[in-house]
Chains A and B, each alone.
Chain A
Amino acid sequence: MPAVGVDTNDELLSLRGIVKAFPGVLANDHIDFALRKGQIHTLLGENGAGKTTLVNILYGLYTPDEGEIRINGRTAHIKQPSDALSFGIGMVHQHFMLIPIMSVTENIILGNETTKYGFINRQKAKDKIRSLAQQYHFDLDPDALVRDLPIGSQQRVEIIKALYREAEILILDEPTAVLTTQETGELFSILRSMKDEGKSIIFISHKLKEVLEISDVITVLRNGKVVGSVKPDDTDEQQLASMMVGREVILQVEKQKMIRGAAVLKVGNLRVNDQRGLCAVNGVSFEVHEGEIFGIAGVQGNGQTELIQALTGLTPFQTGKISINNNGVSGMNPREVTVLGTAHIPEDRQQYGLVLPYPVRDNLILCSYYAAPFSRHHVFDFPSITSEATRLLEEYDIKAPGIHTITDTLSGGNQQKTVVARELAREIKLLIASQPTRGLDVGSIEYIHKKIVEARDNRCAVLLVSTELDEIMSLADTVAVMYKGEIVKTIPVEEATKEKLGLLMAGIDA
């Protein structure tokens, strides 16, 4: 059965009844999908809808449990990436498959080297890379090291990598997640000129606006199933959103007007270096007040991570001042910052926020285990730990069989709720939340947004860092935009529009 709205004639690629199950999840449930030559076909869906699984099957990284892949009308057996490459399929992965310490040329020729007596012929490769870049109208230095390139250029290296192998079908998995509005525009013009050359593109995204802009056909996935296929002219954002989520979505968070109190967090002329010793935060100043959500917007990697690490005592800072409730934070360790009344929802919950092999109980007391009532004279008081953990499990609606369940086995949403429960359970004056909803399902996102607004209404100062403009615009009272380690501009949320923030995120203060 072909999916709705897809013409079965002149199909370049078709997937029939693809099934893929992981322990506990049916990631792909009888998916049909067809791509025609010269088409940009979008896969739209929420996190966990099964988009990435589907294209990974197509690229030979997963083997499907059931189903058939047909290319040019013939059954294709794709067991590993090299099979996909030989069928002319190229892929730009969500996490780039590039080696930072190697040059652009080395990255591109890897696996496809031209050799003479076993020695690599670099000159020939460089010439081909230059001519490919010219063909699609962009600059790329073949000798540059990948780690020195900005994210946008790294993505182009990935695209050239596929073109170098003469790919006819290009898969792009969430390519715009790391780009500014401007960079996205440049990417789209490259994609269009590829389309004009007769290449076919599978584009994956969950951003409605850009999907409507670039696609020829949009196929929506939900919970591993195809919901339907539509042409962009026949639909709008609201319809796509409800297809994606399966119900009417309230895109706006309900919140009262801000009643601003005294400043809780003061940051003055702060400079922080990253791990390589390069300046990551360059002279940043701002204040966060009681009852205010201060949102920091910006593309990933513009110094937000280092800023938060310095604020929470995880990393030392070079110069400047941080004070929380009029206590200087310089030289403090994370424990001392916590004791001042700070809660921290870290950007990377699995790396920083949780000890995954621990039971949920231990993660719920991870930041308060050292004091009464949970321990006395270094010896644990298990009854009071158990009762507190049980209470939090219920109050924060963490779906786990019990407090002894290993945290690793919980879903992402419930893991994040565990972090939120632990951090909000304390008496706090400042909440620092970094990317609090990244990679979560809509239900958990709504829940966490509600909790953040609740904290603000309880006279807590909230610092919210997010790369999702929608999140910033619906939660924040004040918006600051970070670009290359500096705050470009700070404005009340009422004055912020998506277009304006988009420009600011590219460093343009119009």
Chain B
Amino acid sequence: MRAATGNVQKEYLLRTLSFCVLTLVVNILLILFSFRFRSDHSVSLLGFGKLGSIPIRTATAILILGCIGLAGSIAPLVKRLKVEVNVTFYITATGVVSALILWAAVGSIFDMVGLVALSLRLSTPIVLGAMAGMLCERTGVVNIAIEGMMLTAACVGFAATVYLNSLWLGLLCAILAGSVMAALHAFLSVSMITDQIVSGTVINILAVGLTGFIRRSFLVKAKLSRTAILPIISIPLLSKIPILGTIFFTNQPIVFFMMILVVLLTIAFFKTRWGLRTRAIGEHPEAADTVGINVFRMKYLNVMLGGAVAGLAGAWFSLETTGSFDDMMTNGKGFIALAAMIFGKWHPVGAFIGGLIFGFSDALQIIFQIKNIPIPFQFLWMMPYLITMIVLAGVIGKSTPPAADGEPYIKR
């Protein structure tokens, strides 16, 4: 909602100006920061797997980054260059992140391939969650219950692994648990016409209660408190490619599932009958109804498919990462997934990129903690949440949801 009145031009100028001043200050700080490394002639070592590592003079590199950022933050003020403030934001953000990496790489090798691989791994639940949300929202059902679906799936998947003694059966049960919770969401929001955000909240609260109950009533008494995790699979031949092989073709199964799903859903949404009908319902359910499409059945189907994908994301926590289950272990990732979905403009590939950015910031935080960078770790933890808010504030530009998103369809 833009301000109702006042000059459009003036508001736009004010926004541009405040952005430029902000990035200007950040980049000046960055340049000052570079002097810290000048006196002791620090060298940053960036590692690239088997290809060896590249040494870079830290002070010079950060100074260059700062200067590029400085130029970038002035550019929007020069009318002829036609530079959008968004570009400024990206340049500065990239500069700051690169400077932090250079800082962490001083003295010891900073494994860049490892950073990207870890980002991809950590982005998995976010990308999957975003696609779960997309499946629901493309048919017009807002789903803020991804968090709850993931949590339930993580718990049920782990419990099934413990009691059935099979990781793969556990994975299957996690997927089923996700879709059962989704069925409840569909029942409440599609059939009962409950407000979809309230329905999502109900499921999130229910998930906390249910998983806590299962954990304290059963899991703590079980023989195993920890199980094996899903194995790492190397794709023959492809995994031998330097760098790319390590990043993309040597992974655990759910990471592979995630990448396959991104491709699959992109095709399904835009090339198939199912996709056309799904998108039509999300935009204008009445139009779909009047050409004989069963709107309710499609909504149930897609919300439950979404739940299954969220279930897969939940299994990532318990079955692919820790081999155990803890209270609230999904830690808000379900909500970050929604931000990735909005960032990606309800498109699987966009959501993948959005998810990667969040995964990257998570990965950075972990590596910085290991490398003992003197930034309070609480602030590093805050990063993904802050980025989510910046993304939602529309720095990335307008993101338009499906037109009938969140509107219940009431058949006349």
Question: Do A111 and B292 touch across chains, with their CB atoms under 8 A apart?
Answer: yes
- Chain A window 251-275, contacts with chain B (Cβ cutoff 8 Å), 1 for yes, 0 for no: 0000000000000000000000100
CA of A80 to CA of B286 in the docked complex: distance in angstroms? 12
The A295-335 residues at the B interface (CB cut-off 8 A) are 313-316, 318, 330-334
Q: Of residues 55 to 75 in B, which have CB atoms within 8 Å of A's CB atoms?
A: none
Find the residue from A97, A331, A334 having the highest chain B CB count within 10 A: A97
B6 touches A316 (CB 8 A): yes
Contacts A61-B290, A99-B287; A110 near B8 (Cβ below 8 A): no
Q: Which of A267-295 contact B (CB under 8 A)?
A: 273
Are A333 and B271 neighbours in the complex by a CB distance under 8 Å? Answer: no
A332 touches B5 (CB 8 A): yes
Residue B183 lies at the interface, judged by CB distance under 8 Å to chain A: no
- A7-15, A115-123, A382-390, A444-452: which lies at the B interface? A115-123
**Does A113 reach chain B (CB closer than 8 Å)?**
yes
Q: Is the CB of A106 within 8 A of B276?
A: yes
**A393 lies within 8 A of chain B by Cβ:** no
Q: How far is the CA of A442 from the CA of B5 in the complex (A)?
A: 37
- Chain B residues in 8 Å Cβ range of A110: 276-277, 280, 287-288, 291, 293
- Which chain A residue has the least Cβ–Cβ distance from B404? A99
Q: Size band of the B side of the interface?
A: 20 to 34
For A93, the chain B residues whose CB sits under 8 A away are 290
Q: Would you give the 0/1 interface string for A95-112, flagging 1 where the beta carbon is closer than 8 Å to chain B? A: 001111110001101111
CB-nearest residue of chain A to B402: A101
Interface assignment of B333: CB less than 8 Å from any CB of chain A? no
Residues of A contacting B283 with CB < 8 Å? 99-102
A62 at the interface (CB under 8 A from B): yes
B5 to A316, Cβ gap below 8 A?
Answer: yes
Provide the bound-state CA to CA distance between A111 and B281, in Å: 11
Smallest beta-carbon distance A319→chain B, Å: 10
Q: Is A85 an interface residue (CB 8 A)?
A: yes
Pick from A93, A120, A316, A332 the residue with the most CB of B within 10 Å.
A316
B412 x A85 contact (CB < 8 A): no
Name the CB-closest residue of B to A122.
B271
User: From residue A272, how far is it (CB to closest CB) to chain B in Å?
Assistant: 10
Q: Is B331 on the interface with A (CB-CB < 8 A)?
A: no
- B7 pairs with A331, CB closer than 8 A: yes
Whether a CB of chain B sits under 8 angstroms from the CB of A341 is no
Contact A115 B273 (CB under 8 A): yes
B409 CB to nearest A CB, Å: 13
Main secondary structure of the interface of B (DSSP, over half): helix
- Could you tell me the distance between the alpha carbons of A139 and B380 in the complex, rounded to whole angstroms? 60
Establish whether residues A98 and B276, one from each chain, have CB atoms under 8 Å apart when the complex forms: no
Partner of A111, one of B5, B8, B277: B277
Interface residues of A in 53-80 (CB under 8 A from B): 56, 59, 61-62, 80
Complex contacts, B291 vs chain A, CB 8 Å: 81, 85, 97, 110-112, 161
Distance between A310 CB and nearest chain B CB, rounded to angstroms: 10
* Cβ-defined contact, B4 with A313, below 8 A: yes
A85 with B280: CB separation less than 8 A:
no
- Nearest-neighbour CB distance to chain A for B206, whole angstroms, equals 30
Q: Are B292 and A98 in contact (CB under 8 A)?
A: no
A86 vs chain B, min Cβ distance (A): 8
* Given A62-B412, A97-B290, A315-B4, 18 extra CB contacts under 8 A: A81-B292, A82-B292, A93-B290, A99-B284, A100-B403, A102-B280, A106-B276, A110-B280, A110-B287, A110-B291, A110-B293, A111-B293, A115-B273, A119-B273, A273-B8, A316-B4, A316-B8, A318-B8
Listed from nearest, the 6 A-B pairs whose CB atoms lie closest are A82-B292, A111-B291, A97-B287, A333-B5, A99-B283, A113-B273
Cβ contacts A to B, 8 pairs, < 8 Å: A62-B412, A81-B291, A85-B291, A91-B290, A97-B284, A313-B5, A315-B5, A316-B7
Q: Chain B: residues with CB nearer than 8 A to chain A?
A: 4-8, 271-274, 276-277, 279-280, 283-284, 286-293, 403, 412
